[in-house]
Amino acid sequence: MRLSLSWKWVIASLLIESLMLTLMVIKNVNQLEINLSAQTNVRLDEQKILLKSALVAPLVQMDYATINAILNETKNILTIDYLAVVDNQNNCISTVGLKDCLKLPEKELNPFSKESLEDERFDTNIPITLFSESLGKIYLGLSTKFYVQAKKEMITRSIIIAIMELILSAILLITVSKWIIKNLVKLTHSADAIARGDYSQRINLGNSKETIELQESFNLMARNIEKSILDLKHLNQKEKELFEELKSQVKINHEQDILLKHQSRMVIIGEMLNNIAHQWRQPLSAITVQMSGLKLRKELDLIEDEEIENTADSVMKYANYLSNTIDDFRDYVKDYNSKKEYFNIETSLNKALDIVSVSLENNFITLNIEHSENELLVDGVINELTQVFINILNNSKDILNENNIQEKLIEIKFLKENNKITITIQDNAGGVKEDIIHKIFDPYFTTKYNNQGTGIGLYMSAKIIHEHFLGQIIVKNENIEFNNKTYKGAKFFIILPL
């Protein structure tokens, strides 16, 4: 059974309070022992003075009747268990309350030592002297029952008080915790609902000064997410409509190429949607964690206005991040049919990485890029070259996962020489089998397991490079070094004229 945060707070508070009450009882018992010990020592000193002064004369005169009378009178004190007087030769003169005078108890130092408490008696003796001459000793036994009884009564009374206090505290804590977390529970439930796909969620936390800013920020984030999702669905719908329109308008001899082009686009869009899902998962999880943290600090009564403001700013930052992700997708779709122009190849690569980098990171693939010192400008449509990069990177990612490579690597290099730009993209997945390497740019040819591939990604990449950029794309199997190990992998060469 999982406990809510409110119950955990109540239990933790009660445990802390129980510990404090236990420490208080221990402290009181120790203080009781100190106080009683001081009182016992004072009374013992008084008895010593009285007995010594009273017994000196009878001992000198050997008046045993008087000694016996003094002992009987002293024995009437409730805290005295026994009395015994011996002469300077340790011969027993008189005893009261002690059966055997031949075996007198040994002297104890502490009235509340373990031995004194076990037999409920503190044994001591007092030397009786006259002008520094020893006349004998008086043995005295003080009862410690009064301390044991006082200790039991204190512990019993403290336990009863502690139980009553814990019951009242539990009732108060439960009432306060339910009042505190009511709005935070609403916030958490709404955040969970959004994370599960219900983007219409809105919250109303009342008019509390501490929560109104958080309410407004959360609802703004929810509206932005809902709008972004609707835009994404609208773009997807427009893409489908465009596909139907193109399919009905193209000529018969171009129908297959256009279909292949669209299928390639849909594969990339599907990959982009998958990557967007990965990119959204972390911000949504972070929002949920921050809301839970805020809720917990509210339950512990540690929340401050500055924290609420900081959390609201963080939520807004994540909302803007989600919105920017949709903008990247919209730009890719919108600019695909742009006119040819000169653009930087590394800009095209960065657009591709904006789409696939999260997928590469989630698959623990190391990406090494050796940038060129020269400006790499080519004439063409930037999104077409971006599509080529996405196809090759996704192909490398899939084959690295399919071959279960432990240390995964994709390496990208740029070289500008002799009026041409050469781009190489190599992985360490083991390379392409030599008997099929010449087929990988053929339409509908795929090596992916269980027909998971469409066989059009590399075909469309080759078609774009050959027809739209008047370049070349080839693949070879070459060795590559990574983490002091040598691997074999497929290396794609994209050669573009200047």
Q: In this model, does residue 255 exceed pLDDT 80?
A: no
Q: Is 336 exposed, middle or buried (0-12, 13-18, 19+ CB in 10 A)?
A: middle
Q: Is 279 exposed, middle or buried (0-12, 13-18, 19+ CB in 10 A)?
A: buried
Q: In this model, does residue 456 exceed pLDDT 80?
A: no
Contact between residue 103 and residue 80 where contact means Cβ atoms under 8 Å apart: no
Give CA torsion, residues 394, 398, 399, 405, to 10 deg.
120
For the chain, what percent of residues have pLDDT higher than 90?
A: 15
Measured CA to CA, the distance from residue 138 to residue 120 in angstroms comes to 20
pTM: 0.41
Q: Is 462 exposed, middle or buried (0-12, 13-18, 19+ CB in 10 A)?
A: buried
| Confidence at residue 253, expressed as pLDDT on a 0 to 100 scale | 47
Contact between residue 6 and residue 162 where contact means Cβ atoms under 8 Å apart: no
- The amino acid occupying position 297 is R
Measured CA to CA, the distance from residue 272 to residue 393 in angstroms comes to 13
Question: Per residue in 290-322, pLDDT tens?
Answer: 677 777 777 777 777 777 777 777 677 667 766
Instruction: Pull the structure tokens for residue 58.
Output: 């009878």
Question: Per residue in 42-88, pLDDT tens?
Answer: 777 777 788 778 888 888 888 888 888 888 888 888 778 888 888 88
Does residue 173 come out as left (phi exceeding 0), alpha (psi in the -120 to 50 range) or beta?
alpha
Q: Who has greater pLDDT, 182 or 337?
A: 182
Q: In this model, does residue 428 exceed pLDDT 90?
A: yes
Greatest Cα pair distance, the chain, in angstroms, is: 147
- The amino acid occupying position 74 is T
Angle at CA of residue 121, ends 120 and 124, nearest 5°: 160
Mean pLDDT for the chain overall: 79
- How many Cβ atoms sit within 10 Å of the Cβ of residue 31? 11
Q: In this model, does residue 334 exceed pLDDT 70?
A: no
Q: Is 498 exposed, middle or buried (0-12, 13-18, 19+ CB in 10 A)?
A: exposed
Measured CA to CA, the distance from residue 306 to residue 291 in angstroms comes to 15
Question: Per residue in 238-253, pLDDT tens?
Answer: 888 888 887 777 565 4
Place of tokens 């240390």: 407
> Beta strand pairing status for 408-417 and 365-370?
parallel
Measured CA to CA, the distance from residue 11 to residue 174 in angstroms comes to 10
**Mean pLDDT along residues 363-390:** 89
- The amino acid occupying position 270 is G
Q: In this model, does residue 448 exceed pLDDT 70?
A: no
Asked which of 221-230, 233-242, 273-282 is least confident by mean pLDDT, the reply is: 273-282
Measured CA to CA, the distance from residue 287 to residue 306 in angstroms comes to 17
For the chain, what percent of residues have pLDDT higher than 70?
A: 81
Nearest C-alpha neighbor of 379 from the set 339, 411, 407:
339
**Mean pLDDT along residues 393-402:** 90
* φ, ψ (nearest 5 deg) of residue 383: -75, -25
Instruction: Pull the structure tokens for residue 188.
Output: 């958490």
Measured CA to CA, the distance from residue 116 to residue 111 in angstroms comes to 6
Partners of 86 in beta bridges: 92, 137
**273-282: long-range pairs with CB below 8 Å, 24+:** 273/232, 274/359, 275/355, 275/356, 275/358, 275/359, 276/232, 276/325, 276/326, 276/329, 278/358, 278/359, 278/362, 279/325, 279/358, 280/322, 280/325
Q: In this model, does residue 279 exceed pLDDT 60?
A: no
- What single DSSP character describes residue 109? S
**Mean pLDDT along residues 343-358:** 87
- The amino acid occupying position 355 is I
